[in-house]
Amino acid sequence: MRVFTILGPSQSGKSTLAAALAALEGTAGKRQDVAQVAALQPFQFMKEDWAAIDVAGGPENLSQAGPALAASDAAVLVVPADAEAAVLSAPYLRLIEEAGIPAFLFINRMDVAPHRVARIVESLQTYCRHNLVLRQVPMREHGEVVGAVDLISERAWKYNEGRPSALIKLPRDMISREQEARGEMLETLADFDDHLMEELIEDHKILTDEVYDVATKVLQHNDLLPVLLGAASHCNGVMRLMKSLRHEAPDVGATLKRLSGKSKLGGEVVGIGCLADLVKHLGKTITVRAMDGAMGSDVPVAGATLGSLTGLAKGSNGGGLASGDLGQAVKSDHLNMGYAYMRDGSAALPGWAQPHPSTFRRVVTPVRDRDDARLSVALERLGEIDPALVVEQHPQTGHAVLNAQGPLHMRRLLGMLKKGFGIEVEEAVVPPALRETITRAVEIQHRHRKQSGGAGQFADIKIEIRPEPRGSGFHFEEHIKGGAVPKNYIPSVEAGAREALEEGLNGHPVDDLCVILKDGKHHSVDSSDFAFRMAGKNAVREALKEAGAVLLQPIMRVHIHVPSVFTGGLVPVVSGMKGQILGFENNPDAAGWDVFETLLPMAVQDELCSSLASVTRGTGWFSTDFDHYQEAKRADFAEA
């Protein structure tokens, strides 16, 4: 089976193209939706089994594309015929280049293209380090695209609505334009083939078969991206794309070699988990591709046997998968999406196949108390099928904190909780992790004394608390002389001080200060560890009231990855969030992208998610790391 992934921005026509490709010979299998974010479309073409993995558009679904590309022989990037929308394809071009996968670029909806092809390709080239090479040029009548000329075979094809294109004689007015475009294509291909270069220099006639051979070689070596044209809704250009996939895309052996080389996976990779879903009455379902050797219920994969495996190839009877086949495994809980499997173990796919950091956060609590325990189990199950979901626990409340790719991803997760597990939850913004500190030194003498019959409680201590530099944390010192406080009680004073600092005057942990035990008294009978711990706790609490408590808010170092065209628009956004701009620079590994670095309060992280999506048309993303705490005002959090 040959497998390819179809990618592209939302509303670019990916699903329409997948259906058109599958229907070319009327042998399409049943389309299977996977977790609302992808679909599997098996079909046959020229007596060969094929499968298209159609990944839903939108930046929040990009996390599904990496594993799909890892298991695919090639990719098809579907882009709208609109030069001004080229930036929407930037994340997909970047991912394809990082994956090193052979890919075709299909400019869709040429029948309603508002811009000429040359301008569209020029706009897309901004975001691609590889050359984009036109393999076709459009034929127009009265300003409308009615067909295309193949630059390798030099044949002209006129589109027929819903039917294969008709071969026609190359129109006279197209000859000069076709020759010019073909010359540019040949010069680009010749950069990767010395023999073709010599023939061009010596002005020899170039044979069509030779050009096809060179085109296949450069595609499989990932030297450039060929550009094809069409309109999937009218079946225009679809056959040419499918034939290019059949003749030029590599097989599973080359795919395995590429993956092993780029990721340096150890061991013999026998399969890849590329998609996952939770199916009612079946449980977790993992879509796997057999890479090297057969996979079946009687052969160990990742150190265990599979429960059940159903192939997608036509005529598959559930007896297992041959090399290259796609199948769905159930009752195989040791398998997960985003992993390469050996016979006796597994390894995570390389970094390019992993999701971007999940920075949209919400606290979730069950509507019904009886669902509290079930919620943690359900979230664990969702995490097994969605590598972009990160579940944490809020340190103060203990409630679950979900980290998602964005609001749409979060909405889908909450919908799965309700529909798949019957758990309704309420969501809330994650409260900022505030701290408190003090502004001046204070000295306090405190006596803890209690008598209630029998042995009492007695501890007398003198302490000083003083502010320390930001980030220094808590320190405890003792300056006791003459045994005023026995050494075995000093740790109890420190323990009491730490307990008092767990919650300051404003209800937040207190940090960046030093507690110094200077003097004290003890009683030979009534003093105890407990008495000195209580004395330390109460003494620190009294001191905090006089030490000028202030709030501290966490400041995050944020790296924003954004197409360069939007970098300038980030300046007012960050300034409006009271951020400190540290600068930006071109990303050396991604054409047309900048990395914008800034310091921002953690309290505005959700606002950054929504603002970034608006400013960058959904193409930007960011990562955060804690940097430091800084003094804040209550008004800062009222605004956030």
pLDDT in tens, 291-347: 987 788 778 888 888 888 888 887 666 668 889 999 999 988 899 999 999 888 889
Q: Cβ contacts of residue 465 below 8 Å, gap of 6+?
A: 438, 441, 442, 444, 513, 514, 515, 516, 540, 543, 544, 547
CATH topology of domain 2-250: Rossmann fold (3.40.50)
The percent of residues in the chain predicted with pLDDT above 90, rounded, is 76
Q: Is the pLDDT of residue 356 over 60?
A: yes
Q: What sign results for the dihedral spanned by CA atoms 593, 596, 597, 599?
A: negative
Q: Point out which residues pair with 464 in neighbouring strands.
A: 443, 516
Render pLDDT for 103-118 as a digit per residue (tens, 0 to 9): 999 999 998 898 999 9
Most confident range (mean pLDDT) of 124-133, 141-150, 289-298, 314-323 is 124-133
Render pLDDT for 432-444 as a digit per residue (tens, 0 to 9): 889 999 999 999 9
pLDDT of residue 392: 94
pLDDT of residue 261: 67
- What are the domain boundaries of the chain? 2-250, 262-353, 360-426, 440-547, 552-636
CATH class of the domain comprising 262-353:
mainly beta
Do the domains at 360-426 and 552-636 have one common CATH topology? Answer: yes
- As a dihedral over the C-alpha atoms of residue 312, residue 318, residue 324, residue 329, rounded to 10 degrees, the angle is 80
pLDDT of residue 636: 60
For domain 440-547, which architecture applies? 2-Layer Sandwich (3.30)
pLDDT of residue 639: 45
Give the CA radius of gyration of the chain: 32
Mean pLDDT of 526-551: 94
Lowest mean pLDDT: which of 90-99, 392-401, 557-566? 392-401
> Does domain 552-636 correspond to CATH entry 3.30.70.240?
yes
Determine if residue 458 is left, alpha or beta; phi over 0 gives left, psi from -120 to 50 gives alpha, anything else beta.
beta
CATH class of the domain comprising 360-426:
alpha beta
